[in-house]
A and B are shown apart, each in its own frame.
Chain A
Amino acid sequence: MDLAQVEHLSRLARLGLSPEELQTLLGQLTAIVAAVDKLQEADVSSVDPTAQVGGLYDVMRADEVAPSLEAEQALANAPRKEAGLLRVPAIQ
């Protein structure tokens, strides 16, 4: 892993990290990835990946109308809103 890669991750995940924070993260991620590389030693040739530990599959429910939050309640925590909608800066 190198600095450019960590910068890319920060951008992808919208973390907005400073150059010093990127440098620190590079060292830590390098060590963590080296540790999780232990996975490469496991023989996984005969198993499928786990999808759901309880064996649940396609849980369905009846398609019925039920009460839900009012728009006002759902927007109560939003810092910026207008006419029942969320307000955000323009995409550039």
Chain B
Amino acid sequence: MTLLGLSISELGRRLRSREVSARELALEALDRIARLDPAVGAFLRTTEELAMAQAEAADRWLAADPQGAPPLCGIPVAHKDVLCTSGVETTAGSRILEGFVPPYDATVVARMAAAGAVVVGKLNCDEFAMGSSNENSAYQATVNPWDHTRVPGGSSGGSAAAVAARLACATLGSDTGGSIRLPASFCGVVGVKPSYGRVSRYGLIAFASSLDQVGPLTKTVEDSQLVLSAIAGADPHDSTATTEPVGDLAAALHQGVQGLRLGVPREYLAAGVGAGVREVLDQACQRLEREGAELVEVSLPSTEYALAAYYVIAPAEVSSNLARMDGVRFGRGEPAATSLVEAYESARHRGFGPEVRRRIALGTYVLSSGYYDAYYLRAQKVRTLVAQDFARVFQQVDALVSPTAPTAAFLLGERVADPLAMYATDALTLPANLAGLAGISVPAGFAEGLPVGVQVLGPYLGEAVCLRVAAAVEALSDLWHQAPPGTDG
């Protein structure tokens, strides 16, 4: 088995006892990427020089202070290409940012580096993180490591596929409507969407600023906790990052679920949830009950409006955020343009793919005079209703348990021509973004040979209870060391 199939804590033990070096781990990751990634397509670029420099620094740190070096020291990681990396091209999966080399690191990138993590590359994603399948990337399609005819999910599809195929031990993704949890479910890995403001967004190329959060994708719940603890917390560069203390998230992992009240939202089991997915959820719930949790059915009645509210609010923020993509400060230049408007139109027409254009147009529409009240303002009121539903339910239960997605991974090409079918993929994940809640997808079983995740939602800043329940689901299903076929060598 590859070393990259081990948990971060086990690798940490071996790094500290000098059984393996950070340099060896980085070389193994880069070698696996060279051998396996041509078929998976998770990486847009690798960062050999950076990885070797960071690995050598990590080895020095581990030698000088083995017990003081942080848990991520020497661990190979990779970042979704919406996160700015100083001196390393960052495209957000878009042609309009081709060649863009950020002059600074995102806060999460800097914090991972400060914790000694070793960056092996940048990961493919849907253009500007808009999509549920990774098929909206302007550069390449990433496939699902479990079945190369299927999508990895999106938009952090490269981040999920890289962990599933053991090409990196942990990756960072971003989640605006499910973009960490959905690919985590499809690829059989753990994915955490922190509460809004738990993690800094500084240096995250914005999709929808009121919904975006950065979070980890890993093989195990403990690995995710280690990454989350490294990146979470206040940041002077992001005024929306909360100053509430992060607390000891590790303590949650071994508490078990005895005495917890867990709600299963009736509306999340409605039409559209496949039989195989339902079966995986039911089994997970039965196991949690046997471990001493109390499972109760709850209702979130405004769920039926959440998808519509999301597809007004997110595009509205897109139309505003992406106005800066104008070909002036970055881009290829438009030497043939004879006026400024022509230069903008040429840069944006050549630079944006169909989904991004669609969302900019939709966002422009719902914000325009005469439609603002009926769409944008009303959607923000519905958002309040969705948040109130959750607040009411969290007075009765400690956390919610549901499917992460209505189905397992779908076929490449299946939903490309039908935007509404693609949007519906996120129906069970996006309400948590609207309300700013904490959420995790954890592998819980298989449906027709494909991984299926269970979603655990907690209250605002309820990362600890999510980790606690997810750790129990993981322990009871005992799946995490299963690698996709052909990736364990």
Taking beta carbons and an 8 Å cutoff, which residues of A are in contact with B? 1, 5-6, 9-10, 12-17, 21, 25, 28-29, 31-33, 35-42, 44, 47-54, 56, 59, 61, 69, 73-80, 86, 88-92
Contacts and interface: CB of A to CB of B under 8 A. Distances in A.
A49 B383 contact: yes
B302 interface: yes
Interface in B336-364: 337-346, 348-349, 352, 357-358, 360-362, 364
Interface stretch (B8-16, B73-81, B234-242, B271-279): B234-242
Interface of B: 99-101, 103-104, 195-197, 210, 236, 239-240, 242, 302, 304-305, 307-309, 311-312, 319, 323, 326-335, 337-346, 348-349, 352, 357-358, 360-362, 364-366, 368, 374-375, 377-385, 387-388, 419-420, 423, 434-436, 460
A42 B101 contact: no
Q: Which of B328, B377, B380, B381 has the most CB of A within 10 A?
A: B381
Contacts of A78: 328-330
Contacts of B374: 39-40
Nearest to B305: A42
A91 to B, nearest CB: 5
B208 to A, nearest CB: 12
Given A47-B381, A50-B387, A79-B333, A92 B361 contact: no
Contacts of A35: 307-308, 311, 420, 423
B328 A33 contact: no
Given A48-B381, A89-B337, A91-B339, A32 B196 contact: no
A54 B377 contact: no
Contacts of B305: 38-39, 41-42
B365 A42 contact: no
Contacts of A36: 308, 311-312, 366, 375, 379
9 contacts: A28-B419, A39-B312, A39-B378, A50-B381, A51-B380, A53-B460, A61-B239, A77-B100, A77-B330
Contacts of A50: 380-381, 383-384, 387, 434
B403 to A, nearest CB: 21
B210 A25 contact: no
Contacts of A56: 197, 239-240, 242
Contacts of B302: 42
Nearest to B101: A77
B346 A16 contact: yes
Contacts of B331: 77, 79
Contact of B420 (A21, A32, A39, A61): A32
Contact of B387 (A53, A75, A91): A53
B340 A42 contact: no
Contacts of B341: 14, 91-92
Contacts of A79: 327, 330-334
A6 B360 CA distance: 11
Nearest to A55: B460
